Amino acid sequence: MIENLTLFTVFLYVVGLLLFIIEAVVPGFGIAGIGGTVCIVISIIMITNSVYGAILMIVATIAIIALAAIVLYKLGIGKRVLKKFILSTEQKNEEGYSSNQSNGKYIGMRGIAITPLRSSGSILIGADKLDAVSEGDYIDKNAAVEVIRVEGRRIVVREVK
């Protein structure tokens, strides 16, 4: 019976380690990591005779895992693994990437309101459909509008009479 209990604790410990590896490799919500922690803690409590021995073994296990991670990282193995998780390319402005479009080119241009501008709506300037805000007045659909200023991505228009 004692042999079966020892095999079971070893089995729980190995299952816990496998669940930790699965948690590290497969993105998830932490269920595998929590399951791994529970399996390891239960196996450690089962194999020791006292709470003090269990706590000591858990601390030793954490220290060994941390030391192994540091050694693997220093040897370069950890760096290769981490490179798989880190984006190595950049999105540069020179290549056409921009987080903020400049709409300053529309200042002074005229277009048509394609939706009513009840403070905000859509306008058409040439072939460009743009979101715009009226200067304060209601502007009917199909009314002629002029861009009077641009504040970041906000295009402010007024009706042309």
pLDDT per position as a tens digit, 130-148: 999 998 889 999 999 999 9
User: What is the tally of structural domains in the chain?
Assistant: 2
**Parent domain of 25:** 2-83
pTM: 0.42
| pLDDT, mean over the chain | 83
Cα angle 125, 133, 153 (rounded to 5 degrees) comes to 75
Distances in Å between the alpha carbon of 160 and those of 31, 72, 107, 118, 136?
61, 70, 14, 16, 14
- Which has the minimum average pLDDT: 34-43, 94-103, 143-152? 94-103
User: If residue 65 lies in a helix (H) or strand (E), which one and from where to where?
Assistant: helix 51-74
Do 129 and 72 lie in one domain? The reply is no
63 and 21 in a common domain:
yes
Tell me the per-residue pLDDT of 44-95, one tens digit each, with 9 for 90 and over.
888 887 878 888 888 887 888 788 778 877 777 666 666 776 777 777 777 7
